Structure 1
Amino acid sequence: MANKDGHRRFGNIRKLPSGRFQIRYPGPDGVIHTGATTYGTRTDADRALTLIEAQMISGEWTDPERGKVELAVYARDWIKERPGLRPKTLELYTWLLERHIVPTLGKVPVGKMTAKTVRAWRAGLLDRGVSVSTTAKAYRLLRAVLMTAVEEDKMISRNPCRIKGAGNEHTPERPVLTVAQVFELADRMADRRFRAMVLLTTFASLRWGEVTALRPSSIDLQTRTVRVREQLLELDNGEMRLGPLKSKAGRRTVSIPSVIVPVLVEHLAAYVDDDENAFVFLGKRGAFLRGSNFRRESKWADALKEMGVQGLHFHDLRHTGNTLAAQSGASLADLKARMGHDSDRAALIYQHATRDADQKIADALSARVEAEQKKAKKDDDDDGMAGALVPAS
């Protein structure tokens, strides 16, 4: 808008030798910007400056120069500028970006990203056979990158990732073992060192990285608790790295059923060195336990086949433990604290969960195991008595 002497209070207009009009204006950062295009009349140029001023007042203005940066360049910098990312997360983001985002969208300027562009990209992934789960992960990454472009760098005024439900993963229901099957699986481990690992993982609701990172000091057999403070990560390049847990809620102390204590006592005596830096579960050669080594040394697949159980993953032991704990009647808050659930409310839930309630979960699990074991023993005794009463021919 021009004042009485003909000068604008925001920006300025100049006539070029070509006869067209060019605009210049100060951005919120104090930098003087030159219009991305020129205008045929002074009125058109004046209208453009008025629109830009209104966008700045409403917070919708975007920097046209920054918007010219290609998505591949911006997204790679976005990942680099997050030093707090855990190694596995960094690997996942980099893989998703280079494999599923850059090939299609890498050359597109961030300022040219539209909802239609995103819809076409996502549809292309699904058409090429990329799984719904992987597509959802790639979509969430792209959405996070572009949200920074909107909120922090003012490169676009609105996030074009607006597909309802596109970031959701629909995974099939995982199998759950019975108590008897958990103990049978533990007994079927080809290497006895893994018997305790199966039982502790299940009845303490531990993740793979959590159980493989346990040290002797993590397990208190007197109070029947296990302290979870770190995790062991296996990177894509084969490197094994100890690192922090994914969330504050992951740092927890979990009560364990008394029925598995004798198994842990036996394991610690037979397989764990008397060293504060030792680890509770290692491979045969004393190195960090890798998933591939565990499956081979335990003959995991053979054990499942013998049991008639199909498609069970190691992580399903935690899922089984979570299910059994839920069936004990514990509250949602106590269950989430026990599981180290990673959510926006996880920290608050963890702080308010009580140790007494957690102990009740472990006691209920222990009572259930003992009841089923007594029932199985009684059934065996009854079968033996029945055989003794059959007269000899």
Structure 2
Amino acid sequence: MAKRTFGTVDELPSGRFRARYRAPDGRRHAKVFSTKADAWAWLATQQTDLLRKTWRAPVASRRTVGDYAEDYLSRNDLRSSTRVLYAGLWRHHLAEAWADVPVDEVTSAAVRSWHTKAGRSTGPTALAQSYRLLRAVLNVAVGDEVIASNPCRLRAAGTPKASRPSRALTAAEALQLAERLGHDRRTARYRALLLVLAFGGLRFGEATALRRSDVLPGGRIRVERSVRRVGSGWVVGDPKTDAGHRIVTLPAAVAAVLEEHLEKHVTAAPDALLFSTSSGGYLARSNWNSTFRRAATAIGLPAVRPHELRHTGATLAAATGATTKELMRRLGHSSPAAALLYQHAADNRDAAIARALDDMLGAISELSNDDPERDD
């Protein structure tokens, strides 16, 4: 068999085959195929075009990361708030480095260099979000078979590195915080919010988008929207995931506080916000965070973040013995992965399991002792 001298074909981890060759424009061009034969056939056509001087550089390979980002941000399936978030991330953290770079020239080394440099001036959350956006944009190029694989391969770069691991409050600590808010006239309207977040496990945007009509009989609340501040305005849309549309049943004690809250702090209109500012407007996350931290400091809690109220709600629910599917439904998770994080359910749950096993063993022992056929 004659040895092939034009281009190369190599097998990818996916089992597909990448054909590559260097063209007169000085660049290495590539395309991915399902079979090795198809890859070699494509190389043969490229070589023929070169020999006949009819070869032209593939238009797709000249598209820049900026071109792909523009297409990605104009997708119809992006929520308006998500589109605004992504546009800001692109503009502030990605455009300068990547807008004019052809997608087929993006390397893993270049991504690593950008990530290291950006990390010196960008917060962990924004950096992780920016990396995920870059990866998503380049995934489109992979799907178009313009590049063989995504060069965004940094381990855990898409997950923000918190200054410390999240921790769940105990039920007692959550009640203490709620009582602290309730004893201050200026913050009493937020007592019920804290309890709903801590024992219902709602996201902050879901809770602050609730209306009077979302409170249902039997201590249930209907979650069907979320709100977030974008620029100088508020954007109301669907919850974070499709599974976010749900009904959450609150503990009876929390439901009673919520009923009291309705009487004191919510107007009779069905569309009145359930948790609002004193003027009836949406509650800004920054204002809530300040209120929460002051209350936590006042009762001497160790360092705790406002978002950990949702972590608390998830962990307390897991501690009751809820299954993964039950946790997914209660928390509005669309995949088991997130719900499974809470099924460790803390050390005190493990002790409770041990006590239950002791009871089981004790019951078996008693039955054995009472066996009438047992020899004395």
TM-score normalised per structure 2: 0.69
Shift of 1:129: 4.6
1:301–1:49 distance in 2 versus 1, CA, 3 Å? closer
- The counterpart of 1:87, out of the listed 80, 84, 90, is 80
SS in 2 for 1:176: coil
SS in 1 for 2:112: helix
RMSD after superposition: 2.9
1:179–1:158 distance in 2 versus 1, CA, 3 Å? closer
> Which position in structure 1 is the counterpart of 2:360?
none
1:78–1:181 distance in 2 versus 1, CA, 3 Å? same
> Which position in structure 2 is the counterpart of 1:125?
118
- Cα distance between partner residues in 2 of 1:272 and 1:168: 38
User: Which stretch has the larger CA shift, 88-97 or 162-171?
Assistant: 162-171
Shift of 1:247: 1.2
8 Å contact kept, 1:71–1:105? yes
Answer yes or no: is 1:323 the counterpart of 2:345.
no
1:256–1:169 distance in 2 versus 1, CA, 3 Å? same
> Which position in structure 2 is the counterpart of 1:166?
157
- The counterpart of 2:261, out of the listed 257, 263, 267, is 267
Give the AA of the match of 2:147: I
Give the AA of the match of 1:323: T
> Which position in structure 2 is the counterpart of 1:215?
211
SS in 1 for 2:92: helix
- The counterpart of 1:229, out of the listed 224, 234, 238, is 224
- Cα distance between partner residues in 2 of 1:89 and 1:52: 44
**What is the correspondence of 1:286-365 to structure 2 with a 5 Å cutoff?**
286-295=280-289, 299-343=291-335
1:175-234 residue CA offsets vs partner (Å, 9 max, x unmatched): 3222222111112113211111111121111111111111122112x3221111111121
1:166–1:290 distance in 2 versus 1, CA, 3 Å? closer
- Cα distance between partner residues in 2 of 1:159 and 1:108: 15
Shift of 1:288: 1.8
Answer yes or no: is 1:245 the counterpart of 2:239.
yes
- The counterpart of 2:66, out of the listed 58, 72, 88, is 72
SS in 2 for 1:263: helix
1:53–1:234 distance in 2 versus 1, CA, 3 Å? same
Answer yes or no: is 1:199 the counterpart of 2:195.
yes
> Which position in structure 1 is the counterpart of 2:176?
184
1:329-348 residue CA offsets vs partner (Å, 9 max, x unmatched): 111221121111143789xx
1:269-305 residue CA offsets vs partner (Å, 9 max, x unmatched): 1121221221211111122222234456xx4333111
8 Å contact kept, 1:143–1:161? yes
Shift of 1:120: 2.6
- The counterpart of 2:127, out of the listed 135, 158, 170, is 135
1:5-39 residue CA offsets vs partner (Å, 9 max, x unmatched): xxxxxxxxxxxxxxxxxxxxxxxxxxxxxx96389
SS in 2 for 1:233: strand
1:215–1:119 distance in 2 versus 1, CA, 3 Å? same
8 Å contact kept, 2:206–2:226? yes
1:333–1:188 distance in 2 versus 1, CA, 3 Å? same
8 Å contact kept, 1:283–1:294? no
- The counterpart of 1:285, out of the listed 279, 286, 289, is 279
- Cα distance between partner residues in 2 of 1:254 and 1:72: 42
**What is the correspondence of 1:347-386 to structure 2 with a 5 Å cutoff?**
none
Shift of 1:244: 0.8
Shift of 1:164: 4.1
| Higher-Rg member (1/2) | 1
- Cα distance between partner residues in 2 of 1:178 and 1:38: 65
SS in 2 for 1:185: helix
TM-score normalised per structure 1: 0.67
Shift of 1:50: 5.7
SS in 1 for 2:235: strand
- Cα distance between partner residues in 1 of 2:243 and 2:301: 32
1:296-317 residue CA offsets vs partner (Å, 9 max, x unmatched): 6xx4333111111244332211
SS in 2 for 1:188: helix
> Which position in structure 1 is the counterpart of 2:106?
113
1:252–1:71 distance in 2 versus 1, CA, 3 Å? same
1:280–1:335 distance in 2 versus 1, CA, 3 Å? same
8 Å contact kept, 1:186–1:195? yes
Please list every run of 5 or more consecutive structure 2 residues that lacks an aligned counterpart in the other structure.
1-21, 27-39, 48-55, 340-376
> Which position in structure 2 is the counterpart of 1:149?
141
8 Å contact kept, 2:65–2:138? no
8 Å contact kept, 2:141–2:147? yes
- The counterpart of 1:98, out of the listed 91, 94, 99, is 91
SS in 2 for 1:285: coil
- Cα distance between partner residues in 2 of 1:175 and 1:336: 19
- Cα distance between partner residues in 2 of 1:177 and 1:345: 22
- Cα distance between partner residues in 2 of 1:203 and 1:240: 26
- Cα distance between partner residues in 2 of 1:38 and 1:130: 37
Answer yes or no: is 1:37 the counterpart of 2:34.
no
1:87-122 residue CA offsets vs partner (Å, 9 max, x unmatched): 332233222222222222222112322233223322
1:249-273 residue CA offsets vs partner (Å, 9 max, x unmatched): 1111111111122211211111212
1:51–1:331 distance in 2 versus 1, CA, 3 Å? same
